[in-house]
Amino acid sequence: MRAGRDERIARLHGVLPFLAMGCARCWVALTVAAPVAGPYESPASMIDFHNVFDYAFCLTALIVALAARRFVPLNGTARFRNLSFAGFAGSSLCFVAAHVFGLGSSTPLAVAGSALGGFGFALFLLLAAEVIASLPLLRIFLFSTLSQLAAAALTFFLSGLDEPRMLVAVLLLPIAARIAVARAYAGLPDQDKLARPCSKFTYPWKIFVLMALYSFVYGLRQSQLVAGAGQHTGASTAIMMGVLFLSAYFFSNRFNIGTLYRSPLVLIICGFLLIPAEGVFGNVVSSYLIAMSYSLTSLLVALLFYDISKRLGVTIVVFSGIKNAEQIFVVMGKGASNALDSVGLTSGAQDIVIAVLVAVMMLVATLILLSERELASKWGVRILDVGGLVERTPEEERRDEMVEALASRARLTPRETEIVALVAQGRNGPAIMAELFIAEGTLKAHMSHIYEKCGVANRRELKELLEG
């Protein structure tokens, strides 16, 4: 019992800098994301400053992702950390000026503040992703959920302050975030600070489409969600991240990502079906389900990208940057909702149109989710298996040691070693071909060479040799 507790505590070693990274999310909630805190919420304003923030955020993330070959590692120098801090600080100064001088929706100030905030936040998330990518998957999951939970708690307490104290917090949060990411990077082993390659690879388009669908659906209802149901630090996010953290922390060996992977679909469908039943369940429940579905999807997609990055040896900046740029689909969903308002449809007709849109998009999402086997084989995503977040079990370590010993003794090539490792895992011929993208003839040729080098006649004898 004590050994298990000590193991769980060890998983959280070094978590403090990552908890402090929640300061950036808290800053977004206090300045741009939360209507009650934003100084630019004037009905007379013709500009949606949330969209300005999102456009700057998406453009920055996309540019860095496309130019990752030239920029990584982002944390290699202080340049990008300073640029991110400059964006945060500049936006904070615009925010404070709008409050102190009563400028409200002064367009140049609001546009500058929103754009700088989107730029700084996009860079910060990429910096943080690059640092956290070196951790084991289970710790990535734990640190990510705990960081967002801390951000929600911090936002709750700071939003209750009077205006002078809240403005001071807005100025101090970027400093805390800058220090946090620098300390987290400094605490990494030297080998984890090296630049990851940006070799050519096929982008996992199914995961991209899945995230885009959920983003658009969330955008359809974003402006109508109740207070506390939001994608950054709302109560819905706190509830979801709290449940996920506790589940992974106490039951990591039985934590099934494969089941969790389909949960957003159930949540978002229930959320939209509950909207007509407001008299029974209330719009609060509907809003929370929709927001929780989006938060869960975003976390799981990020986890899939971390896993792919580790297995393919590609920098996480590419995957994370493009994923963050998909925030544009939230903007598009919000625009579609506003367009329905402008054509003069009744609220009932709008609900029907939105329900049809959601049904079609969730049908596409269902088809993607049901092809989990292809996701796992094509991009090497194995965290969907039961216990997939546990890095190495004793049995897996023993099996890999036997494979390495046999490969060394028989002088197998790297490809032959991969095939032997898959055979040791119990994979059959079609599964090995799908995993390694090789033809049947190629597999047969490799197996023939393996049998000859190992002195066995067939796969059964090869397995016996490995087990022995």
Alpha-carbon distance 383 to 262, whole Å?
13
State pTM to two decimals.
0.78
Among the residues of 313-326, which ranges form H helices?
316-325
How far lies 309's CA from each of 137, 198, 208, 248, 400, in Å? 11, 10, 15, 21, 21
- What does the mean pLDDT of the chain come to? 79
Compute CA 105 distance to the chain's CA centroid, rounded to the nearest angstrom: 33
- pLDDT-derived band at 274, boundaries 50, 70, 90: low
Domains of the chain, by residue range, sit at 12-378, 394-467
- How many CB atoms are closer than 10 A to CB 120? 29
Which tens digit of pLDDT belongs to each residue from 389-430? 655 556 667 787 888 888 888 888 888 888 888 888 887 888
Q: Say whether pLDDT at 38 is over 50.
A: no
- pLDDT-derived band at 116, boundaries 50, 70, 90: very high
As given in the structure block, the two tokens for residue 289 are 């389900």
| Sign of the alpha-carbon dihedral angle for 35, 39, 40, 44 | positive
How far lies 463's CA from each of 76, 134, 393, 444, in Å? 45, 33, 20, 16
AA identity, residue 334? K
Residue 386 pairs with which residues in a beta bridge? Answer: 256
AA identity, residue 178? R
Q: What is the CA radius of gyration of the chain?
A: 24
Same CATH fold assignment for domains 12-378 and 394-467: no
| Predicted pLDDT at 294 | 85
Q: Please state the rounded mean pLDDT for residues 1-19.
A: 67
- How many CB atoms are closer than 10 A to CB 17? 20
Q: Say whether pLDDT at 123 is over 90.
A: yes
Name the percent of the chain lying above pLDDT 70. 77
Residue 103 φ then ψ, to 5°? -80, -20
| Predicted pLDDT at 60 | 96
Compute CA 415 distance to the chain's CA centroid, rounded to the nearest angstrom: 31
| Predicted pLDDT at 46 | 57
| Sign of the alpha-carbon dihedral angle for 127, 131, 137, 140 | negative
Q: Which fold has domain 12-378?
A: Growth Hormone; Chain: A; (1.20.1250)
Alpha-carbon distance 355 to 153, whole Å?
33
Q: Please state the rounded mean pLDDT for residues 229-248.
A: 78
Alpha-carbon distance 439 to 433, whole Å?
6
Alpha-carbon distance 274 to 286, whole Å?
6
Q: Please state the rounded mean pLDDT for residues 191-197.
A: 64
Q: Say whether pLDDT at 270 is over 90.
A: no
Alpha-carbon distance 127 to 114, whole Å?
20
Which tens digit of pLDDT belongs to each residue from 304-345? 888 888 777 788 899 999 999 999 999 998 888 888 877 777
Question: Would you call 358 exposed, middle or buried from its count of C-beta atoms within 10 A (0-12, 13-18, 19+)?
Answer: buried
CA angle 316, 322, 327 (to 5 degrees): 130
Q: In terms of Cα–Cα distance, which of 419, 410, 408 is closest to 442?
A: 419
Question: With contact defined as beta carbons under 8 Å apart, do 466 and 449 qualify?
Answer: no
Residue 256 φ then ψ, to 5°? -105, 100
CATH of domain 394-467: 1.10.10.10
Candidate from 4-8, 64-68, 152-156, 186-190 with smallest mean pLDDT: 4-8
